[in-house]
Structure 1
Amino acid sequence: MSDYLARIAAVDDSGPKLNAVLAINPDAAKEEAAARKVKGPLAGKAVLIKDNIEVAGPMATTAGSLALKDNVTGRDAPLVARLRKAGVVILGKTNLSEWANIRSSSSSSGWSAIGGQTKNPHAIDRTACGSSSGSGSAVAAGLAWAAIGTETDGSITCPASVNGIVGFKPTVGMVSRTHVVPISHSQDTAGPMTRSVADAALLMNALAGTDPADSATAEADKRKADFTAGLATANLKGVRIGVLRKQAGNHPALLALFDKALADLKAAGAELVEIAFEPSPEMGRDEFTVLLYELREDMGAYLRSLPAKQGPKSLADLIAFNKAHPEELRWFGQDVFEQAEATTDQIGYTAARANSLKLAGAEGIDRLLRENKVTFLVAPTEGPAWPIDLVLGDHFVGVGAGNLSAIAGYPHLSVPMGAVEGLPIGLSIMGAKWDDKRVLEAGAAYERARTAAVPVPSFKRWGE
């Protein structure tokens, strides 16, 4: 653990100042000593936790906001308790896009009022993506063995892609969300961010399981497996994989890299099936309605569950707090918060959820898998990391199909497939609901077959 602390001091607190780590667990040394008594592959592993997940002890859970800077709950989220039981040492908390990037439509991924702007270790003037930006940057920079992120739509997989690491968004309901600052109970989940698929599978063994306080996880004990079993020998021989060509964008270098990954899959024995797919615009429109409605409802319920009597108790309270604290709104506003506060039509919300789920699930991934007789879908996860721009915000380029998995609640794995001009790109592997183990197996098989070089962080500005 001392090596990680020295590394954090060298590249996060000084030098390139990645701003990936928000807080160090003052009890980490004591936990490390206790972990020596635990038997198992995770015993003593140092893991960072995204700062919208509660960890018992003196560290606050802030979601990056000054409104929660004193939110010391004394509670372990059940997912954290599971990690501790497996012998994991909680090293600290990671920075994130404030409120998991749901406050503003023109935000800069990786910025929070508490932690400042997270940087990408491969190019420190470029984004680490959001909202699990600190977790992605920290793992890429070697600040911990692994990290835990959360995702509503792209917040594990995008940071994994642009930081050149593995990120796994499990089936919604495989991992508890209790004591995690929410956006949407329909789409939120936590998941591992690691340097290999095998490490992600190890963490899933600890993370997965039923939590009586989270009804979405009712089937988790029945659906979970030993995610590491057979991983080392998993192969793609005869496996039919659907290629979402239209979701690969039009950048020549990215397309060439994707073609190389497809050639590696084919060389490993996979049968590739080209799929022409164009999602209905209704899917994203209705997803946004769902996120707005559930944000107001779920955030209020979370805030009212906090042990402290003082502090915000509703989304309206957060909006008022931000207006009273101009440092929160210097770089971008809270138009999404305000839209959510005004989204109160329950009938419209219910219809939007049913339609978006149908378009992403039954008529999306399920139909594509069934009609094309394929087991997985692949596409680039995201384009190259764009320059950090606090004035104008993010510059997403429309690459990838992860919103299908996010809305449907299905597993989505991003595995590094190389780089464009030194900027990492991930390969998305998406599967059916509860098919988490097979998605991880496919990722491990691709990892072994990959011929493209995976870039090493430079800790410099791009092009230097």
Structure 2
Amino acid sequence: MAFQQNKLTSRKLVRFYLGEIHKLNPILRGVIEVNPDALLQADKADKEKKAKSLRSLEGLHGIPILLKDNIATKDKMNTTAGSFALLKSVVPRDAGVVRKLRKAGAIILGKASLSEWTGLRFVFPYGWCARTGQGRNPYVLSATPCGSSSGSAISVAANLAAVSLGTETMGSILCPSHFNSVVGIKPTVGLTSRAGVVPISPRQDTVGPICRTVSDAVEVLDVIVGFDKRDKATRTASKYIPRGGYKQFLNANGLKGKRLGIVRNPPYMFENVSVQPQVFEHHFHTLRQGGAVLVDHLKIANIDVFFGSTGVEALEAELKISLNAYLKELVASPVRTLADVIAFNNKFSHLEKVKEYGQDLFLQAQATKGINKKTLLKLARFSRNGFEKLMKKHKLDAMVAPTADIIHVLAIGGFPGIDVPAGYDGKGVPFGICFGGLKGSEPKLIEIAYSFEQATKIRKPPSFKP
């Protein structure tokens, strides 16, 4: 709106965000590097607006966006997954989603920090990578920012950027959104291209927006979805994209008539002294008031499998194969295989803090001897007979749960989910509510999430408590 009224230019917006990054990033460590060409891109966008070019009417035209540092850009910036091992490596081309962003006229502002190697080198701490150190939650600096898309969520929450992209394999968009009081959309696997993204699993990897509002996230989603010849999963998933895009589902009355499932077995993973149980009961009441039908006390069959080691074993085997293929395709790189990365970490252990954090998951992945097809079939069967069967049996539009309780279920089945701010605990640490559904159910999830957000308007700016 400010653009249309000539009150704001892309140059002014980029300068503002560069100033905020300069001021707050030394504390938050949410950004790894800024794009040296960001202001040039802003000037180009402003010229296009002045000339009233067709592209300048696009929703993301002239808007600065931060990308998680595992999303490749063929420009002056690095793509390193937060590791020194990939510093100065050269990618062959822009990632598929970056190509779509550039086509829409978005400005690539910089690269956001993350849990190094998207959390597959070690489990803890969330939000640490060698290139920036520990990312910090802007609400309570000593609280976890979660991961692996920590920097994307931190930066948007603290207004270092308007919008960002994250990636998810197992909770990496939904969990940081939950802990940083922002909106995260984890799309159906294949709805957005993974080409040019440092990979873990072709079954579970997905790219999605992290923003401050549902409407902003949907604006980004509309741009990044669609077919990409370099990612065959997009061919199948593109059938889910609705004619006219996703913005049409930003409906404040979107809860009306929706059937929402509540799973309470196993019990929610709340802390003993948490305010969350009462808050969630209040939210369930809000959903009912909005016209939703809540189907309570459901149980997902085989839920223990989703939290067990079977899924992790499969990811480790897929990581080795997928990462080796990605590294091999780089135009230039100090490392070409997972084994090379492990050796680099050992050689530069002081930089990569191997003594402190190790690289256990890498070592376990390197020890794998290919993908066990039986394990993958088993996971697919559990997903089909668990979440999918429950959704269909009760004719549910979505499952609603505290974010941490649904992450694994959505990840293993390649299902979509949207996290929306739900409240703050006694210390001021945010928490979210997650709406998850079957593949391609983004239109319904957007209606539900937007309607809930408009009815509650919970999000508030960060307080930077110690």
The verdict on a shared fold, with TM-score over 0.5 as the criterion, is yes
Q: Give 1:227's match in structure 2, choosing from 246, 251, 256.
A: 246
| Structure 2 partner of 1:35 | 45
Q: Describe the SS at the equivalent of 2:424.
A: strand
Give yes or no for the alignment of 1:409 onto 2:414: yes
SS in 1 for 2:65: strand
Query: Corresponding residue for 2:286?
Result: 264
Counterpart CA distance in 2 for 1:236 and 1:281 is: 31
Residue of structure 2 in register with 1:324 after alignment:
347
Q: Map 1:50-449; keep pairs closer than 5 Å.
A: 50-73=68-91, 75-105=93-123, 107-225=124-242, 226-246=245-265, 247-251=267-271, 252-277=274-299, 279-283=302-306, 284-308=308-332, 310-327=333-350, 328=352, 329-346=354-371, 349-360=372-383, 362-382=384-404, 400-421=405-426, 422-449=428-455
- The residue identity in structure 2 corresponding to 1:100 is T
Counterpart CA distance in 1 for 2:297 and 2:367 is: 39
Paired residue secondary structure (1:359): helix
Task: Give the SS at the match of 1:432.
Answer: coil
Equivalent pair of 1:249/1:255 in contact (CA under 8 Å): no
Cα distance, 1:285 vs structure 2: 2.5
Distance in 2 of aligned mates of 1:139 and 1:313: 33
3-state DSSP of counterpart to 2:254: coil
1:94, 1:53 → 2: CA distance? Answer: 10
Q: Judging changes above 3 Å, is the alpha-carbon distance between structure 1 residues 250 and 9 closer, same or farther for their aligned structure 2 residues?
A: closer
| Structure 1 residue 370: Cα displacement | 1.5
1:98 alignment partner AA: E
Which 4+ residue blocks in structure 1 deviate beyond 4 angstroms?
none
* Offset at residue 233 of structure 1 (A): 4.2
Instruction: Give the SS at the match of 2:67.
Output: strand
Q: Structure 2 CA distance, aligned partners of 1:378 and 1:55? A: 35
Distance 1:54 1:92, change over 3 A: same
Matched AA of 1:423:
V
> 1:295-331 CA deviation, whole Å, 9 max, x = no partner?
00000000000001x4211111111111111121132
Aligned residues: 435
User: Residue in 2 aligned with 1:388?
Assistant: none
- Structure 1 residue 263, shift from structure 2 partner: 1.1
Q: How far apart are the structure 1 equivalents of 2:31 and 2:398?
A: 34
Is the Cα contact below 8 Å between 2:252 and 2:454 reproduced in 1?
A: no
Structure 1 pair 98/437, CA: closer, same or farther in 2 (3 Å)?
same
Provide Cα deviations, 1:158-194, integer angstroms capped at 9, x if missing partner: 0000000000100000000111001111100110000
Tell me which moved more, 153-162 or 366-375.
366-375
The answer to whether the Cα contact below 8 Å between 2:335 and 2:341 also exists between their aligned partners in 1 is: yes
Rounded Cα–Cα distance in structure 2 between residues aligned with 1:266 and 1:149: 31
* Contact 1:49–1:147 under 8 Å retained in 2: yes
Residue 74 of structure 1 deviates from its aligned partner by 5.8
Residues 46, 146 of structure 1: 8 Å contact kept: yes
The one-letter code of the counterpart of 2:144 is T
Distance in 1 between residues matched to 2:92 and 2:16, nearest whole Å: 28
1:407 partner letter: I
Work out the CA distance in 2 between the residues paired with 1:51 and 1:161. 20
- Shift in alpha-carbon separation, 1:250–1:97, aligned structure 2, 3 A: closer
Task: Give the counterpart letter for 2:31 in structure 1.
Answer: V
Deviations along 1:119-152, one digit per CA (max 9) or x if unpaired, are: 0000111111100000000000000011000000
- Encode CA deviations 1:88-129: one digit per residue, 9 max, x unaligned: 111000000000001124x20000011110000001111111
Matched, 1:12 2:35: no
1:364 Cα deviation (Å)? 2.1
Cα distance, 1:199 vs structure 2: 0.8
CA distance in 2, matches of 1:355, 1:324: 39
Worse-superposed segment, 183-192 or 329-338 = 329-338
Equivalent residue of 2:28, what SS? Answer: coil
| CA displacement, residues 410-432 of structure 1 (integer Å, 9 cap, x when unaligned) | 10110001111211111000011
Tell me, in whole angstroms, the C-alpha distance in 1 between the residues paired with 2:239 and 2:394.
28
Q: Any gaps of 5 or more consecutive residues in structure 1?
A: 383-399
Answer whether contact 2:414 2:439 (CA < 8 A) is retained.
yes
CA contact (8 A) 2:420 2:449 kept: yes
Describe the SS at the equivalent of 2:118.
Answer: helix
**Over residues 363-420 of structure 1, what are the superposed CA-to-partner deviations in whole Å (9 max), with x where a residue is unaligned?**
12211112222211010113xxxxxxxxxxxxxxxxx111111110010110001111
- Counterpart secondary structure, 2:295: strand
- Contact 1:300/1:314, CA 8 A, preserved across alignment: yes
Matched, 1:2 2:15: yes
Q: Compare 34-43 and 18-27 and name the one that shifted more.
A: 34-43
Deviation sequence 1:254-300 (CA, Å, 0-9, x none): 11111111111011111111133254433432211210110000000
Measure how far apart 1:234 and its partner are.
4.3
Aligned amino acid, residue 20 of structure 1: G
1:415 is paired with a residue whose SS is strand
The 8 Å contact of residues 424 and 455 in structure 1, kept in 2 or not, is answered as no
With over 3 angstroms needed to count, the CA separation of the structure-2 counterparts of 1:33 and 1:222, relative to structure 1, is farther
Note if contact 1:381-1:426 (Cα within 8 Å) is conserved in structure 2: yes
Q: Give the equivalent residue in structure 1 for 2:4.
A: none
3-state SS in 1 of match to 2:362: helix
CA contact (8 A) 1:57 1:72 kept: no
Q: Using the TM superposition, give the Cα deviation of residue 345 of structure 1 relative to its aligned residue in structure 2, in angstroms.
A: 4.5
